[in-house]
Amino acid sequence: MRGGAQAHLIETTDGSSYVVKFTNNPQHSRVVINERLASLILRQLGIATPEPAVVNISADFIRDNPEVYMGHASHRVLPTCGAHFGSRFPKGPMAVYDFIPDAILGNVANLFDFSAVLVVDKWLGNTDHRQAIFFRRHGIHSPFVAQMIDNGSAFDGFHWNFRDSPTIGPYFRSVYQRVQGIESFEPWLTQVAIFPEAILREAFHQTPISWREGDIETAFERLLCQLMRRRGRVSDLICACHSQPTNPFPNWP
């Protein structure tokens, strides 16, 4: 798959397919924790995103699938045996697209999820541009739906910090036509403002122990403290996007 983490599309023993990011990916081992936490938050807020899973890779699988590797500089690196992060790929005969034309975007069934996910991206300090996939659930005559994917750059990636920029975060296509003011980002602003710390703490401690090596427990406590303090700042961060020359909200006066 595309992207710096060099994820692979892998079919699991139950017949499902997952986009798998390996813990020893070229970006950093924290990327898989970022993915898990962000996926949990999106699902908690009712924003369309693939189902996350822990995908276990065996030595036999690595031996039998030599095409599964990552490129580091001039050499190949195999995934480690054990637990990795998986993002469930849509099942069925439908085609899955990274992009669809602007003329179709306005008819995406869950277009407001792009406004919702911007609230989350600003809260989590996602330093990558928002990515999504599009597909039809019920045949070629049904509307497209979008799922929000690729959250490895939440918390500024492996830095586990917050580097806010008003030009980073919004989706780069025409998905904000219905935004007419900061109130268009409700109820997600309110939901983020009261998001329970306990849910995030529990999610972190439920990650595989192999993902939590070294001083990562201490680093996570620092991250969580900052994240809780940011909950009330999200509306200001979105307003900063609106005030830029590149304002992505054409119908927000």
Q: Where are the domains of the chain?
A: 8-242
Count the neighbouring beta carbons within 10 Å of the beta carbon of residue 77: 15
Round to whole Å and give the CA distance between 26 and 183.
39
Beta bridge partners of 210: none
Could you tell me the CA-to-CA distances from 202 to 133, 145, 155, 224 in Å, in that order?
28, 30, 18, 12
pLDDT given at position 145: 96
3-state secondary structure (DSSP) of residue 57 = strand
Q: What percent of the chain is modeled with pLDDT above 90?
A: 92
Question: What is the gyration radius of the CA atoms in the chain, in angstroms?
Answer: 18
With the CA atoms of 220, 52, 198 and 191 taken in that order, what torsion angle do they form, in degrees rounded to the nearest 10? Answer: 110
- Predicted confidence (pLDDT) at residue 6 exceeds the cutoff of 80: yes
- Predicted confidence (pLDDT) at residue 64 exceeds the cutoff of 90: yes
Poorest-pLDDT segment among 42-46, 93-97, 105-109, 222-226? 93-97
Cis peptide, bond prior to residue 187, ω within 30 of zero? yes
Q: What is the mean pLDDT of the chain?
A: 95
**Is beta strand 144-149 parallel, antiparallel or unpaired with respect to 82-88?**
unpaired
pLDDT-based confidence at residue 117 (cuts at 50, 70, 90): very high
What confidence tens digit (pLDDT) does each residue in 124-163 have? 999 999 999 999 988 788 899 999 999 999 999 999 999 9
Beta bridge partners of 149: 131
pTM of the model: 0.95
What confidence tens digit (pLDDT) does each residue in 195-213 have? 999 999 999 999 999 999 8
Give the pair of three-digit tokens for residue 52: 């996350």
